[in-house]
Chain A
Amino acid sequence: MSGTVSFRDWLTAETTSSPRQASFQRLYFGWLRLRANPLTLLGLGIICALVVIAIAAPLIAPGGFDDQSLDARLLPPSGAHWLGTDDLGRDIFARLVYGSRTTLYIATLVAVIAAPIGLLVGTTAGYFGGWVDGALMRINDIFLSFPGLILALGFVAALGPGLRNAIIAVALTAWPPIARLARAETLTIRKADYIAAVRIQGASSFRIITRHIMPMCLPSVIVRITLNMAGIILTAAGLGFLGLGAQPPAPEWGAMLSTGRSHLTGAWWLATAPGVAILVTSLAFNLLGDGLRDVLDPRAE
């Protein structure tokens, strides 16, 4: 490419010369629309900040999250302990900072498990139709006939408490809405000419689904999982609060809240900060998800 054409020109060129340029252009124009909404940017900013905090946790809170000192128990917020200390004398700010790792870990893993399952089930059901569709969607309906938390509680009861099992349980409750969405998308494109063309060329069903249908469903699935992420984080925090998620001494915001429960009258700061952290995180995902939906799906409003 000649040096006189700037990257920006390449992105805004009226005619595209390669598929890659076309998709970069789409991303760029999407970003321009996303940028126009300050609330969406706020959400994105909070999530980025959270990622930075999680990565830099040892730098921000050099004391570590499990530094107990029993003579410094239940201290109110002060210069030394910005958010006070808990019932074992651990710095709440440090635990909050490290807790962002747990939260992002849960969020990422749930997305990585639930999105492919939902995508696979949804596209398969939509592409084949008939009894395959009927059977898969029936299973989907069964999972959808529970509120997420109740189903997750059932799975945790069966698998046993712990962070890993909580993640599996939440992921098992998170895939059905994605499958339903992927199916709806597949139904609109499975009769498209390009699919027929690939089939005539002799592509297998597996290849058609994974290479030609799934990529088309991906944008809406990403929006959906971002929108659902707030609910996923709340469900995971709920499990932690009930003592079924991450086990002590791991710093988890929901579990930190539940210690605050026994010190309601004496030490209000125990329950306040972790709750604000959960609220801000799920709010950020809601804001970002709303913005993404407006960009990628103009039909919504």
Chain B
Amino acid sequence: MLIAILKRAGSIAATLLGLLALTFFMGRMLPVDPVVSIIGEQADQATYDMVFHQLGRDKPLITQFYLFVRDMLHADFGNALFTGHRVADDLAKVFPATIELATFAIIIGVVVGVPLGMLAAVYRGSAIDHVARVVGLLGYSSPTFWLGLMGLIIFYAALGVVGGPGRLDVSYIDMVEPHTGLLLVDSLIDGEYEVFWNAWRHIVLPGTILGYGSMAYISRLTRSFMLEQLRQEYIIAARAKGLSKMRVIWRHAFGNIAVQLVTVIALAYAFLLEGAVLTETVFAWPGFGRYLTSGLLAGDMNAVLACVLIVGVIFIGLNLLADILYRVMDPRTK
């Protein structure tokens, strides 16, 4: 057991180091001279040499990599040129917005996706199975940014039933204290129900559209896990014993797939970060994804590398979490 844990830890450490090497390499591939982008074309040679030295570009590559790793481990990502703040501070500010959006989305994905997948498996070949298949296929095939635009055209521009881009209407901004950074929670803590309602109107559309993709993924896998269980003999035995169909499905079959589902949901949550980049751009949602794309368009490598690195770390972390949950929840792994 101890050896297994050590092996696992070693492999994670190696992956993390590789992640750092990859981002370091990305930063060095840049065709633009980073010194020139700081001091401009007009600066004289002395200034150039000084900044060159300050950036550590005169040191051997391996030393530069060591310094890079040291900075990253201290969460020192440097300054973001396009905001003028430290990247770490910026990220702390934008991340709650993304977490709020992604959590809203994953709730939709689970609440709709799991029952849909269960129904599709239980009534295999029926109308509901076909509906689930079509819904899933469309979820896999739709560009989320397009769904976002269509949603805005229909529900915001034409019908006016949801809030527009952003997290709040302008008049509500900064009305609640940022306790958690999650507006839906903060507004309830402060008892500002009007702000809550406004934030709700703003998150419903992007959250649902983002959640649609995870729903497709979760329902498809729920269906196939469930079919696997329903084929087993213990299901027939339970039915023969006289247990009701509902009880067999929910207590026996679902009980057995719950562990696998947790893994799937953890991974789906990680993939929401990807969807968030595009969804946030469409909805002007001031989160991590929009920060990344703004940094990209401004050619700000510090911000971009920090974002890429953090997504990688979150990904590894969620994979690890899924693995641990699997071991804790599944009695067979003990």
Q: Do A and B come from one complex?
A: yes
Chain A residues near B (Cβ < 8 Å)? 138-139, 141-143, 145-151, 153-160, 230, 234, 237-238, 241-244, 254, 257, 260-261, 264-265, 268, 271-272, 274-275, 278-279, 282-283, 286-287
**B270 contact set on A, CB distance < 8 A:** 147
**A254 contact set on B, CB distance < 8 A:** 143, 145
Secondary structure call for the B interface: helix
Of B14, B153, B281, B301, which contacts A264 at CB under 8 A? B153
Separation of A285 and B17 alpha carbons in the complex (Å)? 36
Of A154, A237, A264, A275, which contacts B308 at CB under 8 A? A154
**A154 contact set on B, CB distance < 8 A:** 23, 26, 304-305, 308
Of A145, A149, A265, A274, which contacts B316 at CB under 8 A? A145
Separation of A230 and B141 alpha carbons in the complex (Å)? 7
**B23 contact set on A, CB distance < 8 A:** 154
**A244-B296, A271-B149 known; A145+B278 contact, CB < 8 A:** no
The residue of chain A having its C-beta at the shortest distance from the C-beta of B136 within the complex is A286
**A150 contact set on B, CB distance < 8 A:** 273-274, 277, 292, 307-308, 311
Contact across chains for A237 and B296 when beta carbons are under 8 A apart: no
Of B137, B146, B273, B311, which contacts A283 at CB under 8 A? B137
**A275 contact set on B, CB distance < 8 A:** 143, 146-147, 149-150
Interface CB pairs A-B, < 8 A, 30: A142-B19, A142-B22, A142-B312, A145-B19, A145-B312, A147-B271, A149-B274, A149-B278, A151-B308, A154-B304, A154-B305, A156-B296, A157-B296, A157-B301, A158-B26, A158-B27, A158-B29, A159-B29, A230-B141, A238-B278, A241-B143, A254-B145, A260-B149, A261-B149, A261-B282, A264-B153, A271-B150, A271-B153, A278-B143, A278-B146
**B137 contact set on A, CB distance < 8 A:** 283, 286-287
Q: Does B56 contact A (CB under 8 A)?
A: no
Binary flags per residue of B113-146, CB closer than 8 Å to A gives 1, else 0: 0000000000000000000000001101111011
**B143 contact set on A, CB distance < 8 A:** 234, 237-238, 241, 254, 257, 275, 278-279, 282
**A274 contact set on B, CB distance < 8 A:** 146
Q: Does B315 contact A (CB under 8 A)?
A: yes
**B18 contact set on A, CB distance < 8 A:** 138-139, 141-142
Q: Does B319 contact A (CB under 8 A)?
A: yes
